[in-house]
Every structure is written in structure tokens, then in C-alpha cells.
Amino acid sequence: MCEINGTVTFLIFCSAPDVPSIVMASSKESQSITVEFTSVSGATSYILRAETNDGSFFSEISVPGSPGTVTNLQPYTDYTLSVMSVNSAGRSQPSISVEAKTVLPAPQFNTSSPSNSSILVKWEPVNHAVLYSLSIIKDGSYSKISLNITETQVHFPDLEAGTKYCIKGNAWSPENIPGDDFTVCQITRPPTPQSIELVVTSTPDAGIVVSWDPAKGAEQYVALSLTGQNCSSSTNSCILIPLSCGETNSVTVITINQAGNSVPSYPVQIISFPCPPQPIWVEELVPGNCSVKWSAIPHAEYYTTFIKSDDGIEGMCNSTELYCQFHCHCGYSYIMSVFAHNHAGQSPPGPLLNHTTLPCCPALTTVSAASWETLMMEWSPVRGADLYETRAVDANEVILCNDTAPRCALSDLTCNSKYSVVIIPCNDVSGCNLTCSPQTHETAPCMPEITSVSQTNTSSSSVLVSWTSDNTVANYTVSVIDSVGDTHFCHSNDSSCLVSNLPCGSVYEVSAIASTSAGESMPSYTVPLETAPCCPDNLTVSQVTQAMTNVTWSPANGAQTYIASLSSPRGHAQCHTMETECVMGCITCGTNYTVSLEAISRTGHKAECTYHGFSASQCCPSGIRLYRGSNNTLIVRWRSSSALTKYTAEVTGSDRTHTCSPEPGSYTCTVSEIVCGQVYSVVVAPLNPDGSKVQFCNSRMYSVTCVGSSVGMGKTENIYISN
């Protein structure tokens, strides 16, 4: 079966086609040879055969018709070529072979742009090449430059920077046949950036904004600083970060494209913003006038100080000096910061300085005596004080009191001393304000010491109190207090005073107090005082017998015991008793006595009491005798030692008493109307000056008989009286 034009039309028996013939074989490319041959009727395709003379290469490829190309050949190599026709019956015999050689391969250009105005082309030598042809044309231009050289590199100068150029070239064989051509495009290096501008920025980070004019052919821009920072951009600006304060820098910019870097731009100098001043400190040489100070900062043109107090008030000052003055109040806290400025801008924030001024000095200090050795200090709280130190200084000691409250008790002070007292406010931050003015305060006088309490005399109601004290300007008050609270006073600016009108027989407590404008001292230690007992208001001496008296008296306040005395030149009688009466014997009748009484307290204090004298009654007569008289009378006779004493005789019978009183010096008395047979009691007794009868003379019993003339005597003597 044969195919005609690829379509089966009928079934016949076919034979192999005729042998075609090669018209021409030539090489346009180093890896192929094109063969032109004649067409053969009935052939459906052709086979091109290529082989080397040494048999190292053999290749057959099918082609549909003429011309046909054998590929995958080696450059500048001789090949034997033949062609065969093909149909369904098979292939024909090879045609007569022809010889053909492949052309030289194209040189492999390596291009570069050494500068922004030149391109350098290099290649490896092409085997068997005797000449090279190159041409260069600018992109977008119709003008080109051609040249032939035998070297393996060529330099194209005077080109435009940042411009694309295409280079085409081929090698020539010794047979003067051009080989494969090769085209490569190369851009020149970009031009140096122009119009470089530097601006310092602080947002979002501190850096240098570098800008430039766009450069032709630049794909990338790189800014480089002297300190090593760099930034890149495909536009006309970038930011160099980080930027340090106080930095002097220079920046260059290069452009980059595929060819490489441009020549760097001329360095542009820049000074960054200054560093913040640090440290900063505050000086307050005069209270209320503060100065914020700092050291000089390189590249700073002026400084701005911000000050904010803790009450929210803010202040600011600009200065070209290294300080800023402001009015600062005591007890306030201030937050301060200082910024430096130059043409590049403001420095970063520096350290914040927190300064607390000294606390204010307290005013309106009040002082009161809490006790004799303690001063209570009180003052109004002051701003800024966390602690108050109260310092009291005298010639010998320093008393300190630390408290957070605006009051302090200075204890254990020395009495009668002047203290320099100052309230020093302090806080933990600024310390203590040592400029506060002291005040002088005097403590109360020292306690007097009573040295003696003496009653001026036993009959006096005054007491002299003496004391010692070292304060010569103090006034002293002596208090004498009895058991029920009644008080007697005396006052003096000396060392003693007299307390008058003290009742007798009382117990007192005596104390003294010194007082000055600083206050009162502690009361002195109490000294007991007991006044002498009172003398009894009434004293009575009554004679009990001729030689014995009974002395009675009224109770005396303060007296525990009594000594009663009767004294006379003829004798002395005394009794010591706790009672208000006593009986004393050995009294001489008819004698005048001095009556005295000592009232003695339980502690031995005595009161000498003197009363009116006491006269003892005259002695009872002795030798009493009765004689019968005429006319029923009795004669009573006695003996007496006193011629001046008047006596009375009482004769008492059963029904009546008969009395007679002779004149002084007469010792006989006649009693009439005596009845015989009766018993009579006879008493002869002296009469007192007031006419009363002495009661203690003994009576005698006499019986009167009716016979005889004598009177009987004895216990019951018989007296006989005749009828």
C-alpha cells in the first residue's frame, strides 16, 4: 500500500523512491548545517545524514522536504552530508555526499561598566577565530558604532551614565566566514547623586533624612554616614537611623544599578541635635531663690528648662547660660527637666530631677507648762515636713524630741533654766531646715526646800517658815493647811515668811511654791506643823480638905496630857494627868498659890497656861473647947495662928443651929439658948473673904447635961447644965 500526500487512495505494490541529490550544504550557525536537495517523486519525507570523517559522530534526522537542517553539531567541524528519500516502501539510497563545515561559535561577551561613562566587553578567545566584529548601539537610538579587532576585549568610552547599550559581535574564521553572532545589553553605572540635603528628624525615631535629585538609570540609592549607618531607597530619600545626640557626621550618597555603584557624592556635613544636659542639680543659696544648673553641652545653642511644682503649676525659662533661676517655695516638690537646642532641633528628654525644698519653719509656736519639768510645744503643721525635731539647749544639756505630730513635750528639763528652743522641720528627701529661728523659754523655778518651821513662841499664833532656793526673782507662797482643808498663806520674795493667826492645838502641813513668769515650781516637800495645844478656857481650884485641893479645867484642843501646878514660897504642888482634873495634897492652909497649867500635845508640844492665883483657905482652928456660960449659954473657944482670920462657930442641936462670928483676932464665941440634955454638933471654921464658911473643918459632938457646970467633950462629950 502506497500513500500519496498522506492519503490512501488505492492499494498497489510500491518500490523505494529515487535517490535525491544535494544541491548545496552550508552552515549559518555553529551547531547546524542546512542542506538543500532535490525533491523525489513519491517520497513522503527525507532523511538527512551527517557524519564525521573519523566516525565519531553520526546522525540522521527526518525532514519533510528541502531544505533541511542538521542540528546538534559541533562548531567549526567538517561533516559529510547525504540525503535519502523515504516512502512507505522504505528509503532510497543515500545521495552523493558533500562536505560542509560549521561556522565559528559566537564569542561569549562579559560586559561591565567600570564607570558611569564606559562599558568594558571581554570574552574568551574563540578557537580558529582570526577576527572579531563588534557594534554598540544606545537603547532607543538608531546610531551605532562598529569595529573589528583581534583582541578579546574592547572598551567603549564616552557613554551616557545610566544608559542601556546593546553590544553585538561575532568571530571570523580563517576562511573569512563569520560565525555566530552574540548580543548582550549593558547599562552604564548611574551618575553621582546631586543636590544632597540632610535634615534631622525625631519621628518616629531620631535619624537623618537624606534626600537627593533622581539619577538616570539608578535602581537603588544608598546613603552612607561617617559613623557607619546606611540606608537605601528606590526613591529619592531615605532615613539614616539611629542618630545619636551631639553627633557630628557626614553623609555621602551612591546610586546603584545592574552595572554597579556610582561615584559617591561629595560628603555633606551635619551636626545632630544636642544631648540632654546631665547631670542637672538645684542650688538654693538663699531660701526661696532656686537655680537649676547644668554643665555645658557641645553644639548646644540655648537651653529650655521646664519646672512643675506639686501643686500643678508649671513654668519654663529659656537661657543661653548654664542655669535657670526660679522662685521656689519652702515645702514644695518640683520636677525639672532641661533640654538643649540647636539648629538641628531639641535634645532628647534628659533625666528628670525631683527637688524638694526644705520644709517651712513653723510659726505661731505656743509653749505651755505641762508639768514642772515639761514644756508642751505646739505649732501649726507646715508644708513639706514629715518629721519635727524639737531641740532645747541650755548651758549644760541638749534635749531632743522627734515626732511626726506638730506638738512635742520636752521632758526632764532643768528647773529655773533658760532654754533656746527651735522647731526643726525635716523630710526624707531634702533633710532638715536648719534656718528656723530659736525662741527662748524659761522653765519654772526649782522646788523650794523648807529648812525650818518654827513657832515664834508657845503663846504666839504665828509660825516662821524658812526655805532655800536659787531663784532670787521668784515670788514664794507658803501654804499651811489643816486637817479639814482650811488654808493659811504667806507670801514673800525672800527666803522666809511669817504665817499668822494659826489656831492653837492644830496639825498642819506646810509647803512652799516658787512662781515666776515661767510658771510655778513643784510644791516643796511637806513639813508637818503642830501648834502648841490650847490652854483650857476654864480652870477651877477647889479646896477639898485643909491640905488637899481639887483642880478641874475644861478640855483643851490639841492637848493630850496636863501638868497642873500650885506654887508658893511655902511649897509646891503638882499633878500630871490625862484627865481634866486632878487632886493635889500638901496644900498649906492660909497660903496664896500661883496656879499654872501645861497643856502637852501627843508630840510633846507644850502650852504654858497661867491663871488667877489660888488662896488656900485659912487653917481650921485647933484647941476647940466649950464652957458653960450663964443663962443657958455655951462659950466656944479655939486657937488660931492668924490674927486676921475671921471665924464662925456653928452649934447645931436637934432643932436649931446656933451661929456666932466674932471679929478677927477674937477666938471666943458665945452661943445662947442652949438646951441641956441635947447633943450638939460644933464646927468652928474660918470664913473665906467672900464670907462663905470653909467646909472642911471637922465637927465635934457634945452632949449638954443638966448637972454641973462643965461641958463634956469627946466623941460625945457631956456638958452638964443645971436647970
- pLDDT, tens digit, for every residue of 592-646? 889 999 999 888 888 888 888 888 888 888 888 888 888 888 888 888 877 778 8
Share of the chain above pLDDT 70, in %: 95
User: If 0-12 CB within 10 Å is exposed, 13-18 middle and 19+ buried, where does residue 392 land?
Assistant: buried
Give the pLDDT confidence score for residue 713 in this predicted structure.
40
Q: What is the largest CA-CA distance in the chain?
A: 255
Lowest average pLDDT, out of 318-322, 328-332, 490-494, 701-705, goes to 701-705
Which cell is 144 given?
551605532
- What is the bridge-based pairing of β-strands 207-211 and 220-225? unpaired
Proportion of the chain above pLDDT 90, given as a percent: 44
Domain assignment present for residue 716? The answer is no
Q: Give yes or no for a contact between 532 and 506, defined as CB atoms under 8 angstroms apart.
A: no
* pLDDT exceeds 90 at position 318: yes
Angstrom distance (rounded) from CA 337 to CA 554: 101
Asked if residues 170 and 181 have their Cβ atoms less than 8 Å apart, the reply is yes
Number of separate domains in the chain? 8
| Rounded Cα gap, residues 606 and 458, in angstroms | 7
Does residue 10 have a pLDDT over 50?
no
C-alpha cell at position 155:
572598551
pLDDT, tens digit, for every residue of 66-122? Answer: 999 999 999 999 999 999 999 988 899 999 999 999 999 999 999 999 999 999 999
Asked whether residue 34 is assigned to any structural domain, the reply reads: yes
> Quick check: 20 and 37 in contact, CB under 8 A?
yes
DSSP codes, 355-412? EEPPPPPP-S-EEEEEETTEEEEE----TT-SEEEEEEE-SS-EEEEEESSSEEEE-S
One-letter amino acid at 582 equals: C
Kindly give the pairing relationship between strand 699-705 and strand 431-432.
unpaired
Non-local CB neighbours of 180 within 8 Å, separated by 6+ positions:
29, 30, 75, 103, 104, 105, 106, 170, 171
Q: Are 85 and 17 in contact (CB under 8 A)?
A: yes
pTM, two decimals, is 0.52
Q: Which residues pair with 555 in a beta bridge?
A: none
How would you classify the pairing of strands 699-705 and 716-720? parallel
Q: What's the rounded Cα separation, in Å, for the pair 272 and 582?
A: 128
Judgement on whether residues 420 and 380 belong to the same structural domain of the protein: yes
pLDDT for the residue 294 = 94
> What pLDDT does 7 receive?
47
Amino acid letter at 397?
E
Is the Cβ–Cβ distance between 288 and 327 less than 8 Å?
yes
- With 70 as the cut, is the pLDDT of residue 265 above it? yes
Residues 6 or more apart whose CB falls under 8 angstroms from that of 55 comprise none
Average pLDDT over residues 358-366: 84
Buried b (16+ CB within 10 A) or exposed e, 514-535: bbbebbbbbebeebebbbbbbb
Residue with cell 522627734: 402
Q: Is pLDDT of 415 > 50?
A: yes
Sequence-distant (6+) residues with CB within 8 A of 313 are: none
Task: Give the pLDDT of residue 14.
Answer: 59
Among residues 512, 530, 548, the one where a domain terminates is 530
Examine the pLDDT at 709 and tell me if it is beyond 60: no
Alpha helices by DSSP H, listed for 162-217, are: none
> Measuring CA to CA, how many Å separate 586 from each of 357, 547, 716?
102, 5, 30
Whether residues 339 and 370 share a domain: the answer is: no
Both 128 and 60 in one domain: the answer is no
Both 333 and 404 in one domain: the answer is no
Structural domain contains residue 337: yes
User: 434 and 465: one domain?
Assistant: no
Domain assignment of residue 508, yes or no: yes
Residue 716 has pLDDT above 60, yes or no: no
Residues 167 and 228 in one domain: no
Contacts of 501 (CB under 8 A, 6+ apart): 461, 462, 488
Residues 6+ apart with CB under 8 A from 77: 52, 101, 102
Residues 425 and 453 in one domain: no
pLDDT at 676: 82
Rg (CA), the chain: 81
Phi and psi angles of residue 343, each rounded to the nearest 5 degrees, phi first: -65, -20
Establish if 710 belongs to a structural domain.
no
Q: Is the pLDDT of residue 196 over 70?
A: yes
Q: Rounded to an integer, what distance in angstroms lies between the CA atom of residue 377 and that of residue 384?
A: 19
Please report where in the chains the cell 521646664 appears, as a residue.
306
Residue where the block lists cell 554597579? 260
Q: Do 564 and 638 touch, CB atoms closer than 8 A?
A: no
Q: What is the pLDDT of residue 459?
A: 57
Residues ≥6 apart with Cβ < 8 Å to 5: none
Residue range(s) defining the domain that contains residue 672: 622-704
Structural domain ending residue among the three candidates 391, 423, 442: 442
Question: If you search the block for the grid coordinates 507670801, which residue do you land on?
Answer: 491
Residue 590 has pLDDT above 50, yes or no: yes
- The model's pLDDT over 447-487, given as tens digits with 9 standing for 90+, comes to 899 988 887 765 567 888 999 887 888 899 999 998 888 88
Q: Mind giving me the DSSP string for 83-107? A: EEEEETTEE------EEEEPPPPPP
Residue 12 belongs to a domain = no
Mean local confidence (pLDDT), 512-523? 88
pLDDT level of residue 666 (50, 70, 90 thresholds): confident
pLDDT at 722 over 80: no
Q: What pLDDT is stored for residue 105 in this prediction?
A: 95
Question: Chain-wide mean pLDDT for the chain?
Answer: 87
Q: Would you say residue 571 has pLDDT above 50? A: yes
For residue 84, the Cα-to-chain-centroid distance in whole angstroms is 117
522: pLDDT strictly greater than 90: no
| Chosen domain end from 475, 497, 530 | 530
Q: How far apart are CA 554 and CA 544, in angstroms?
A: 19
CATH number at residue 644: 2.60.40.10
Buried/exposed code over 256-293 (b: 16+ C-beta within 10 A; e: otherwise): bbebbebbbbeebebbbbbbbbeebebeeeeeeebbbb
Closest listed residue to residue 385, CA positions, set 412, 408, 419: 408
Please say whether the beta carbons of 366 and 375 come within 8 A.
no
What are 513's strand-pairing partners?
A: 477
Contact 620, 687 (CB under 8 A): no
Cα four-point dihedral sign 230, 232, 235, 241:
negative
In a domain, 3, yes or no: no
Q: Is the pLDDT of residue 187 over 90?
A: yes
14 lies in some domain: no
pLDDT for 250: 93
The mean per-residue pLDDT over the stretch 309-335 comes to: 92
Same domain, yes or no: 612 and 570: yes
CA distance 246 to 212: 25
Partners of residue 317 on adjacent β-strands: 305
Which DSSP helix (H) or strand (E) runs through 240? strand 237-240
How many whole angstroms separate alpha carbon 87 and alpha carbon 2? 8
392 in the same domain as 410: yes
**E strands within 258-332?**
260-261, 268-271, 280-286, 289-294, 302-309, 314-319, 323-327
pLDDT of res. 708: 54
Surface-to-core class of residue 184, CB atoms within 10 Å of its CB (0-12 exposed, 13-18 middle, 19+ buried): middle
Instruction: With H, G, I as helix, E, B as strand and everything else as coil, classify residue 557.
Output: coil
Residue type present at position 555:
P
Identify the residue whose cell numbers are 526624707.
428
